[in-house]
Amino acid sequence: MSIIAGNWKMVRSPAATRTFFGQLRVDDVPSRHELLIFPPAISLVAAAEARPARVRVGVQNIHWEEEGAFTGEVSAEMAREAGAEFALIGHSERRHLFGETDEQVALKTGAAIRHGLVPVVCVGETLEERRAGMVDDVILRQLDAVLPELALSARVLIAYEPVWAIGTGETATPSDASSAHRTVRRRLAEALGGEAAARVGVLYGGSVKPANARELLAAPDVDGVLVGGASVDPASYVAIALAAP
Ligand code: PGA
């Protein structure tokens, strides 16, 4: 079973979201695979209404407060009401373009869990950190920040997305992905116990395309992929899902 998650980022209006789902043909994708789409928040309702039953929807970002004077923000409860069942938390674009800290990522993870959203916590190193041999240090620091929250959730997904591979056409090798995923899994097993850790899905993200999806999805410890650019086109999203072993 593989998880094929599409992160549309700031692409696809509500009307374009309906068009996407109108063109999406998932009947040939084996039912063991789980299909998720993360549209922009403003397109959540359109996605929830237009999706086929087996594609589930998530929000790309939430604020941790319940409501209040936080102009431009969306709460977990609002996302849930709009149809989200999952929440991306701490995507590298949130961390690096919008200055999101480990502390904020932890608060958002807690808010998602309180409101019944499955958190998809994103971790990953920059190129400088990789060159400095700090891949595991960065992943573990980002993971440790959310561990107390994760212990409270029935279901958790972690996305390993090396920052240098996002939107660049550069992809981690399957063995880089496996090695990072093992680091994640080891820490989860220490913190949550082996059984709970085994239930956490660990996704790889960073320039996943139909052409490289199969080898990444077949790599040991890779439970799925988080796809950006190649997920906004229905044919290419389905091609990735069909490549899953
Ligand atoms: P990409 O994005 O597939 O366009 O590299 C992945 C992501 O940011 O989730």
The mean of the pLDDT values for the chain is 96
Amino acid 170: pLDDT: 85
Spatial distance between the Cα atoms of 139 and 148, rounded to a whole number of angstroms = 16
Q: Is the pLDDT of residue 167 over 90?
A: no
**Other beta carbons less than 10 A from residue 179's beta carbon:** 17
Identity of residue 56: R
Amino acid 44: pLDDT: 98
User: Do 87 and 58 form a contact (C-beta atoms < 8 A)?
Assistant: yes
Spatial distance between the Cα atoms of 103 and 97, rounded to a whole number of angstroms = 16
Q: Is the pLDDT of residue 153 over 90?
A: no
**Protein residue closest via CA to atom 6 of ligand 1:** 228
Amino acid 21: pLDDT: 98
Spatial distance between the Cα atoms of 108 and 62, rounded to a whole number of angstroms = 6
Q: How far is the CA of 231 from the centre of ligand 1 (A)?
A: 9
Amino acid 166: pLDDT: 87
Q: Does domain 3-242 have CATH number 3.90.960.10?
A: no
Q: Which atom of ligand 1 is nearest to the CA of 168?
A: 5
Q: Is the pLDDT of residue 116 over 90?
A: yes
90 lines ligand 1 (CB under 6 A): no
Any idea which residues carry the catalytic annotation?
A: 91, 161
7 lines ligand 1 (CB under 6 A): yes
140: buried, middle or exposed (CB in 10 Å: 19+, 13-18, 0-12)? middle
Tell me the domain boundaries of the chain: 3-242
Amino acid 154: pLDDT: 86
212 lines ligand 1 (CB under 6 A): no
> Is the pTM higher than 0.95?
yes
Residue 151's pLDDT band (boundaries 50, 70, 90)? Answer: confident
For residue range 33-82, list pLDDT tens digits in order.
999 999 999 999 999 999 999 999 999 999 999 999 999 999 999 999 99
